[in-house]
Amino acid sequence: MAQAQGLGRKYAKAFFKGFFVAVPVTVTFLDRVACVARVEGASMQPSLNPGGKQTSDVVLLNHWSIRNYDVQRGDIVSLV
């Protein structure tokens, strides 16, 4: 029983170490490099969301290109 408690603490400690490393890395990645967004509504039809209001498309927003001013003709730009 003592070994089970020690093993449980070991796994909990490893989980929290991984959690406290993974969360900041994930937040930084989503803020600085890229994030995923869902396009809903008719604002981008027919390019995105061609099926109407019942469906939605998922797009990858590339923050890296915007920071380096690497925007070209034909790119879709999202403003928040």
Domain boundaries, the chain: 1-37+57-79
pLDDT at 2: 52
9: its two tokens: 């603490």
Give the model's pLDDT for residue 55: 74
Which residue stretches of the chain have pLDDT < 70?
1-5, 52-53, 80
* DSSP 8-state code for residue 52: -
DSSP run (H or E) holding 8? helix 2-32
Looking at this protein, which amino acid is placed at residue 6? Answer: G
Q: What is the pLDDT of residue 25?
A: 92
| Report field, pTM of the whole predicted structure over 0.75 | no
Which of 33, 32, 31, 51 lies closest to 41 in space, CA to CA? Answer: 51
